[in-house]
Amino acid sequence: MACSINFPVSGKPISQTSASLIPSPTKTLKLSTSVSPLPSIGFISGASLRLNETLKVRGSKKSSAVVTALAVPVIASVKPEPLKIMISGAPASGKGTQCEQITKKYGLVHIAAGDLLRAEVAAGTENGKQAKEHMEKGQLVPDEIVVMMVKERLLQPDSQESGWLLDGYPRSLSQAKALEDFGIQPDLFILLEVPEEILVERVVGRRLDPVTGKIYHLKYSPPETEEIAARLTQRFDDTEEKVKLRLRTHHQNVEAVLSRYEGVTVKVNGNVPKEEVFAQIDSILTGLIKQKKAASDLAGVRHDSPSSEGTESLKQVAC
Question: CB of 8 within 8 A of CB of 309?
Answer: yes
pLDDT in the model for residue 298:
83
For 79, 185, 209, 212, the CA distances from 221, given in Å and listed in that order, are 43, 37, 12, 15
Out of 171, 202, 207, 260, the active site residue is: 171
> 10 Å Cβ neighbour count for 188?
18
Q: Is the peptide bond before 170 cis (omega within 30 degrees of 0)?
A: yes
Out of 235, 248, 267, 290, the active site residue is: 235
Out of 84, 95, 202, 260, the active site residue is: 95
Q: 177 an active-site residue?
A: no
Q: 206 an active-site residue?
A: yes
- Residues 16-55 have pLDDT tens digits of 444 444 444 444 344 333 333 433 333 333 333 333 333 3
Q: 171 an active-site residue?
A: yes
The enclosing H or E element of 317 equals: none
User: 290: helix, coil or strand?
Assistant: helix
pLDDT in the model for residue 275:
96
Q: 246 an active-site residue?
A: yes
pLDDT in the model for residue 304:
55
CA 141 to chain centre: 29
Beta pairing partners, 269: 193
pLDDT in the model for residue 245:
92
Q: How far apart are CA 114 and CA 118, in angstroms?
A: 6
Residue ranges of the chain whose pLDDT lies below 50: 1-72, 306-319
Out of 84, 153, 202, 206, the active site residue is: 206
- Residues 286-319 have pLDDT tens digits of 999 999 999 888 876 665 554 444 434 333 333 3
For 196, 204, 212, 226, the CA distances from 222, given in Å and listed in that order, are 22, 13, 15, 10
Closest CA to 171 of 269, 267, 83, 260: 260
Q: Which domains does the chain have, with CATH numbers?
A: 84-275 (3.40.50.300)
pLDDT in the model for residue 104:
96
Q: How many residues in total does the chain contain?
A: 319
Beta pairing partners, 110: 165
Q: 302 an active-site residue?
A: no
Nearest-5° Cα angle at 229, 227 to 235: 135
Instruction: Return contacts of 62-70, CB within 8 angstroms, 24+ apart.
Output: 62/33, 63/33, 63/37, 64/37, 65/36, 65/37, 65/38, 67/38, 67/41, 67/314, 69/313, 69/314, 70/46
